[in-house]
Structure formats: C-alpha cells, structure tokens
Structure 1
C-alpha cells in the first residue's frame, strides 16, 4: 500500500512540475509539491520524523538567509540607484543593454537571482517606458544574465545552493571553475540580443521632468550597510563556519534597523520557493527510500544511463530543466546519485543553470521577469524569449562543456 501511495504521489508531483499547475485552478508548482507532502503524512506513508529527515535544513536556511540579506539591497535603495544610473544611458541603447547584462550577472552571482529579477524588473519597465524604449530586449537581457551570472556562484540560485550544500563544495574553488563559462554566457547574451534587437528597440525621448536622485531619497550612507554585509559574508565563506550559519548571522545583523521594521524583511522572503523546496525534498526522499526505487536507481547507474559526462549531463539538463524545472531536476538527480563526484556536481550546477535560459518555462527567474513585466503592461512572450534564449543557451552550454573537458573536470 505504501509503495503505491508514494509512487503515485511522486509521479503526480513531477507531472505537476512539468505542467506548472492544474488547469482551471489558481495553484502552482509549490502548492502541488507541498500538497503531495501533506498527503504522504495524512496517508501514513511517511511519519513526521521521516519527512523531516528528508529535508535539507542547511539548504533551506541558507536560501532563507540570503533572501533576507537581498532585501537589504532593496530597502537601502541600491537597486533603485543602480537602475537610475542605467537609465542615464537610455539614449545609447547598446550601452544600456551592456549595463543590464553586467548588472544582472554580477548581482546574481552575489545574491539569489530570483530576488534580483523580482527587484529590478519593475524598475526597468518604468524607466524604459518613460523614455519610449521597448523594454523587451532589456528584460530578456535581465532574465538571461541573471541565470548566466548566477551559475558562477554557489549562492547565485536555489539549485546551486542545494548542490553546494549536498556535496560540501568549496565556495571559492567552485567559482574558480564556473566563472569563465558564466562570463562567456554573459558575453553571448549581449551579442545575441544586440544582433536581434539593435534596429528595433526604439529611440529614447527626453524626460519631461528630471527624476529625483535616489541618494536624496535614501541617503548615500544607506548603501554602505548592504555592501558591507556582502563583503563580510564573502569573507565568512572563506572560513570553516558552515555557509548557512554565516548567512544567518549576517541576516540577523542587517535586520537591525531604525528605519525598516523586521517584519518587512520577512515579507520579502519568497516563502513559495521555500515551500517548493520542502515539498520536493519530502516527496523525492520518500520515493527514493523505497527499496524498489533504490534498486532501480542502482540498475540505471550500472547500465550507465545516469548523467556522467558533459554530453549526457547537458542533454539531461536541457530536457529536464525545461520540462519540470531546474530545481526539481536537481533535487531528483541528487536523490538518485547521492554519491556523485565533486566534478559531476560542479558540472550539474553550471549546466542546469545555463539550461534554464532555453525557454520561458525553464527557470523561475524567467517567469518572475515575464509576470512582473506583465503587471507593468509589457508582454514578454514565449516566442520572444525562445528567439533569444535558444541560441544563448546552446552556445553557452557548448562553451561550458568544452571548458569542463579541457580543464579535466569531466569527460565527454
């Protein structure tokens, strides 16, 4: 009975990941994963203790802490200031595009890319619409660069956080390997979007009224707090202190404020994403704890059907990331291959992240940008995204694969 309950809920959960929800109902992937975990508990297929044992507390706490730290950048006006600096180049769209790519890539390597996309999208839409430019190429640049830049760091996106925690990867050693393909992906992003949109993004018009400088609103001194917090956090990552503990310490300190209520920081946390993580941990862990499923995974490994080299890893990442999403894919693969080598985990972090740029549904960041833009009156469609995303992804993943092979980290 337990076998059937767990198997059915596992299959339904991952079908839900592929569908993105249930037609006719306003529910999403996070609800599906969370509900499946609840049903496992209600049916008795999992006890609360067993379910808790499947959770990766370190990954969840690190993600929570990084969201709180990212919120400080918003409250301090850093995002608004950076966006205002970019808008000064509206009359030179090629430079503005370069600025968006660099900004999205750098911030996403240091902060969780979902938060960066969520904060910058409405600001970009507002400033670009006010200047009469088509926001779509710049929003594409934001989404693609947030994914590309986040691949350079173990704290850049949710799946890399999970991989780094599961494999105990060294923060700086990973970035030393991942930074070159991430930089190449950012250059490719700029080149592809520039070539496709340079004659179609419009001509900037002058503002009727100059915007109030952001530093007058927030005060230039307010920028010091998030920047100092980031530098200290990166320094702590060089010590033996667990990353989640380091991040929680910094998060607790940045939440001490005379201007912002602590509850406002809590409101900035993406609880929906944390629910998705928790639900998938429980459902996938329950399935992989079944002897039948464990035996099947062992057989697949013996037959060489699990990703091991660049080609198989890239193919699996492209297919799964754009079918069920890169976070569910990583959780599933880590469960099937708990003894994966460090090199394979590095390759998985890079490839699963870059693969999210293929289609609009491939990454949470893409959906955040599209949905946030829609609320601003800008439609970023599936075809628009694929037109840029497909060449960017294929080129960047090819170069990343060559880099991993030439560096001796993975075989073909």
Structure 2
C-alpha cells in the first residue's frame, strides 16, 4: 500500500504544481479530491480514518468567515469602500497609498481573495475614469491584500490552518506580525512609486477605455443594514479572538449562524457565495497528506536532511523552504507539507508570514493575483506575467527581507 500512497501523493502534488494533469479536465481541487477518493477506494485508508484526517477547526473557521464575507458582498460593502477611496481628490501616488491601506486592512479581517474579487473591477473603473494606468494600482491591490492578510490568523486560509493546528495565540501573533506587515506595506508603496518614476501614471493607448464601457452593471448597491450586521459580527469576533478563551472556530461558527438567520437575505444566496471549491481542496489535501504521513516517509526524509545539516525545523531553513514551495505548489499545499515539521509558536509565525508574502512573487503564487488579473482582463486591461513580475519580484524580495530580519531579531 505504501507504493500506492506515494504514487497518489506525487501525482496530486504534480497537479498542484501544474494546475492540472495531462488529458484530464481537472483543476487543483479536482486533483486533490480524486487523490483522496483513490486512497479510500483502494482501502489504503479507511473511511473513518479519512474523516479523522480532516482538521475540523480549520474547516469550520474557514467556512464561517466565508459566510461573513458573503454577508458583506451581498450588502455591497466592498465596492462601496473601493468607490469611496477612488473618489478622493488626491494625486496618483496618494491614491495608490489609500488603496493599499484599505485593501490590507480589509484583508486582515476578511479573506484576501474576496477583497480582490470585489475591489479589482472597481479599482479598474476608477483608473480608467481618471486616465491612470491601471496595472500598478491593480498589482498593488493584489500585493496589499496578500501582505495585509498575513497580519492575522484569519486573513487567509493557510494562516487559519497554522493558527488552528498549532493553537497559536491570536493576540501574540497579531502583535508580532503587525510590525513587518506595516513596514512591508510602506516599502511596497515606495517601490511601486519608484518604479513608476520616469513613466508617469498615464495609461498606455491600449488601455485607454472609457469608464462607461468598463463599468459593471451588476454592482450591488450599499445596504446599510446588511453591511452593518456583517461588520458588527466581524468586530465582535475580532474582539473575542483577542480577549475570550473560547475556541475561535466555534465563536466564528456562531457568528455565521447569526447572519444566516435573516428575514431578507435567503440562505441560498449566502451559501452560494461560499467557496466550496476551496473547502474541498482542503479536505482532499488533508486526506492525501495524512496518508503520506502514516507511511513514515516524510519524517525519515526530514531526519535524513537534518543529519546532513538541512534541518527544516530551523527557522531560517523553514523560511526559505516555505518561500520556494509556495511558489512551486502554491501556499496552502506548501503549508500542509511543512506544518508537520513546525512545532513552536515562533516557527508557526515564520511559516505563516513567509508563505503568505511569497505569494506576491509571480502571478501563480496566490489566488489573489489570479483574481486580479482575470478581473482586469474582463475590463480590457492586460496584465501578463512579465508586467506582474516587474513589481511582484522586488516587492516580494523586499518584504521577505524585512520580515526575515524582524523575525530573526525577535527570536
């Protein structure tokens, strides 16, 4: 059975690298699910063992915040916030700073992917209406959501997984992460402004669409009551995470349940905005990774590397491994691979920050990047991998250098 488990594991992670498998219409979620099915159907692991491998607290927390984000999307909060920022009569560099700050703040509390999905079309419209070149603002939006999401243990899926698995303190993590995140945002803004110097902020002719052509007719108007409910629940949960001793997943689930008991928003609409694909991806990877751990091969590989001077449990090597793997298989699978070697609170913080900030390097490094590029394409704005890399590479290297130095000094 070990050979079958290893084969399935390798095929699943090859799928994570390439985003699919040859001759099959499968994305990463389908590949992870198919791998889990193969292991259970072949009796390499029992159904009961597969269920036990699912980390329920992480899945519950992830689901709960998807419901809260759905409440705010249906209330029109994200587009309204983006338009408020875009209506500020300030010069382009300051507009960029405002976009980065708002995107990072929202991503620290809500999902960075949802923030990008809701804000990217509006930011594109604002840039076109003000005759500004959209790519720097859109790429900056993606970078800021990734950076901002690193500030808390609820900002993105991999941080939720790390926080719930290692039972990290919400307040202590926030205290440590807030400094490198704030510095990283400032440096990101400075790098984008510096790289635009000499080029100006005017758009290329190919991007010069009219704002009327770009506007999305399906914008949800702001509903103060629904938005207020969502923000109130999020604020109470954030305070409870800092102060209350109760499990974060159960508190978040109670908040999601409260929002689902609505007289105006049907639960079908709310649950329709839940990212079931991401939840299934997590479940599939939980099963595949658990089966691989049970073979004992990963622990033997870690011990063999340690005996040759490459101890993955050392913070520096963990930081580097997380950066590399996050850009090979993406950050969620990378964290699942490295988490078994992570035991201490400091190591968990290292893994959370490095895996999240690594996502800014290339377009495929994070889902947030892909969302922004796809939403830009819908507006007639082309952002290829080279244009993204011109900003993403220096931003990633600078923010990782800042974070690595800070964590080394704080150790």
- Within the candidate set 370, 388, 391, 1:385 is matched to 388
The range that moved more, 373-382 or 291-300, is 291-300
| Alignment partner of 1:202 is 2:207 | no
Is contact 2:128-2:211 (8 Å) kept? Answer: no
- Within the candidate set 287, 295, 299, 1:290 is matched to 295
- Within the candidate set 257, 260, 265, 1:252 is matched to 257
Partner of 2:101: 102
**CA-atom RMSD, angstroms?**
2.4
Is contact 1:113-1:156 (8 Å) kept? Answer: yes
Inter-partner Cα distance in structure 2 for 1:280 and 1:206:
44
Inter-partner Cα distance in structure 1 for 2:54 and 2:366:
22
Partner of 2:177: 178
Q: 1:172 to 1:190 in 2, by over 3 A?
A: same
| Alignment partner of 1:235 is 2:239 | yes
Q: 1:207 to 1:405 in 2, by over 3 A?
A: closer
- 1:120-152, Cα deviation, whole Å (9 max, x unpaired): 122222333344332211110110001101111
Q: 1:8 to 1:128 in 2, by over 3 A?
A: same
Inter-partner Cα distance in structure 2 for 1:70 and 1:6:
37
Is contact 1:90-1:131 (8 Å) kept? Answer: no
Is contact 1:14-1:324 (8 Å) kept? Answer: yes
Inter-partner Cα distance in structure 2 for 1:396 and 1:233:
29
- 1:42-81, Cα deviation, whole Å (9 max, x unpaired): 1111111111111111101100101110111111221121
| Alignment partner of 1:226 is 2:225 | no
Partner of 1:395: 398
- 1:67-105, Cα deviation, whole Å (9 max, x unpaired): 110111111221121111122137622222111100111
Q: In the TM superposition, what is the alpha-carbon distance from 1:302 to its structure 2 partner? A: 4.7
Secondary structure of 1:162's match? Answer: helix
* Contiguous gaps of at least 5 residues in structure 1: none
Is contact 2:361-2:392 (8 Å) kept? Answer: yes
- Within the candidate set 315, 321, 346, 2:320 is matched to 315
Q: In the TM superposition, what is the alpha-carbon distance from 1:343 to its structure 2 partner? A: 0.8
Q: In the TM superposition, what is the alpha-carbon distance from 1:27 to its structure 2 partner? A: 2.4
Inter-partner Cα distance in structure 1 for 2:346 and 2:161:
15
The TM-score, its normalising length taken from structure 2, stands at 0.91
Counterparts of 1:8-407 in structure 2 under 5 Å?
A: 8-23=7-22, 25-89=24-88, 92-197=91-196, 199-202=199-202, 217-237=221-241, 238-335=243-340, 337=341, 340-407=343-410
Secondary structure of 1:356's match? Answer: helix
Inter-partner Cα distance in structure 2 for 1:293 and 1:183:
36
Is contact 2:112-2:149 (8 Å) kept? Answer: yes
Is contact 2:77-2:222 (8 Å) kept? Answer: no
Q: 1:90 to 1:51 in 2, by over 3 A?
A: farther
Inter-partner Cα distance in structure 2 for 1:86 and 1:25:
43
Q: In the TM superposition, what is the alpha-carbon distance from 1:260 to its structure 2 partner? A: 1.7
Is contact 1:20-1:29 (8 Å) kept? Answer: yes
Q: In the TM superposition, what is the alpha-carbon distance from 1:256 to its structure 2 partner? A: 2.6
The TM-score, its normalising length taken from structure 1, stands at 0.91
Inter-partner Cα distance in structure 2 for 1:382 and 1:222:
38
- The list of structure 1 runs, each at least 4 consecutive aligned residues, that deviate by more than 6 angstroms after superposition, is 203-208
* Contiguous gaps of at least 5 residues in structure 2: none
Is contact 2:71-2:226 (8 Å) kept? Answer: no
Is contact 2:108-2:152 (8 Å) kept? Answer: yes
- 1:3-40, Cα deviation, whole Å (9 max, x unpaired): 11100010111111111113565421111111111111
- 1:162-198, Cα deviation, whole Å (9 max, x unpaired): 0001100010110000000011111111111122235
Is contact 1:83-1:124 (8 Å) kept? Answer: yes
